[in-house]
Structure formats: structure tokens, C-alpha cells
Amino acid sequence: MTSIPLEELANHKGEVLGESPWMNVSQEMIQAFADATGDHQWIHVDVERAKKEAPWGAPVAHGFLTMSLMPQLSQQAFQITGPVASINYGMNKLRLPSAVKSGSDIRSVIELVDVQDVDEKRVLATYKTVIEIKGEEKPAIVAENLAMYVKP
């Protein structure tokens, strides 16, 4: 895993900072997310029906489940050292070009797009995060996400 000091982050604009290991998105994970959110649409939780009727031939993960895995995957891809806090500041752009079938493996590939000093205590970083699906041509997610780093 790549480790970058916050004061050197701007030197890495335009670079891929890292990629996470592959993570399996199991049907159990999909079911737990459905239970936590109340989204029990059949394309996610009815395995037999999804195999027969869904366009993917299998149940698929919720888009919000895949999005919610971005922080975990990112933390396994690279680390910024030095800030006292790292805050999810939101997204400028988010697309979900392909569904994640139950049992698929996903990983994140993260590129640093920009770094800006907000003030003497805060730095705003813009990342391009692509969530790839093993064996699939299209990614699950392409996002421009923001992280606010708070200096000591």
C-alpha cells in the first residue's frame, strides 16, 4: 500500500495512487444491506427469480452498497499520513455503468485529480475512483470524490 505524507500530496496530481485488493460481494452481504436499508427489491434478494428474470442472470448488489464500499476499498489502496482527520466531503460526479452480480469481485483504482489548500488547517483533495469488476469490461462505479484533510 502506498503511504503519502499530506504535505507531499500535491506532487502526485495525475497519478494513480493505488489499487485495492479484490473484495468479494457475496449474496450474504447483499442481503445484509437490503435488511439494513429496507430495499428488498427482488433483483437483489430473490436469487431464483433473479437467475430466471433479471437481465444479468443473477442477483445484483445495490448501487448504494457498492458506493458504500468505496471508503473501505480506498483505505486498502493508499494512505495519507499527517492529518488529524480525513473527512468524506462528497462527490462532484458519480456514475454506475455496470451492475455488480452477486459473487463478483471488485476493487478500486484511485487517481489524484487535484489538491487545494482551503485554509491553513484544511486541504481538499479530488480523486477519480474507479470500482472495477473482475472479468467485466465496464466498471461498477466511476466517481469524482472529495476528501477534506485537517492538519494538526
Q: What is the pLDDT of residues 112-150, one digit of tens each?
A: 999 999 999 999 999 999 999 999 999 999 999 999 999
Determine the Cα–Cα distance for residues 59 and 133; give it in Å rounded to an integer.
Answer: 15
Q: Which class in CATH covers the domain with range 2-23+61-150?
A: alpha beta
pLDDT tier at 1, thresholds 50, 70, 90 = confident
Residues 6+ apart with CB under 8 A from 143: 67, 70, 91, 93, 94, 95, 128, 129, 130, 131
The domain ranges of the chain are: 2-23+61-150
C-alpha cell at 45: 434478494
Q: Could you give phi then psi for residue 54, rounded to 5 degrees?
A: -75, 145
Please give the average per-residue pLDDT across 58-65, as a whole number. Answer: 98
Confidence grade of residue 2 (pLDDT, cut at 50, 70, 90)? confident
Mean predicted lDDT score pLDDT of the chain = 97
Tell me which DSSP letter residue 84 carries: S
d(CA 9, CA 110): 13
Cα 64 from Cα 33, distance rounded (Å): 9
* Cα 126 to Cα 24, 31, 116, 149, distances in angstroms: 27, 32, 9, 11
